[in-house]
Amino acid sequence: MDIEMVRHLSDLGKLTFTDGELEKVAKDMTGIIEIMDTIKEIDISYDPIKDNHNVYLNSLREDRAMDSFPTEKILQNAVNSENCFVVPKVVE
């Protein structure tokens, strides 16, 4: 990016730069544009096969039905004895 383009953009943005600052901004902007051009080259297309590459279905545990905790044990510290928990009001 040349200094004249930076000067034009700074005028549009109502920014004031010295000549030295214009050169530094032009150099920085050129670096940013080069990075953005590099990023544009990266392939970001979706591949459903690669999407699940960390999921190994063979290593998952077997899905088995198990007995749950008895209701009496779960509710032993509950304030209400009608088989439910009382939750404090948080929204007025």
* Number of residues that make up the chain: 92
Q: Is 83 left (phi over 0), alpha (psi -120 to 50) or beta?
A: left
What is the value of pTM for the model shown? 0.45
Task: Burial-class residue 17 by CB neighbours within 10 Å (0-12, 13-18, 19+).
Answer: middle
Q: Could you read off the pLDDT of 40-50 as tens digits, one per residue?
A: 888 888 777 66
DSSP secondary structure code for residue 22 in this structure: H
Q: Could you read off the pLDDT of 49-90 as tens digits, one per residue?
A: 667 666 666 777 788 898 888 888 877 777 766 767 677 778
End-to-end CA distance of the chain: 57
pLDDT at residue 81, rounded to an integer = 61
Binning pLDDT at 50, 70 and 90, where does residue 7 land? very high
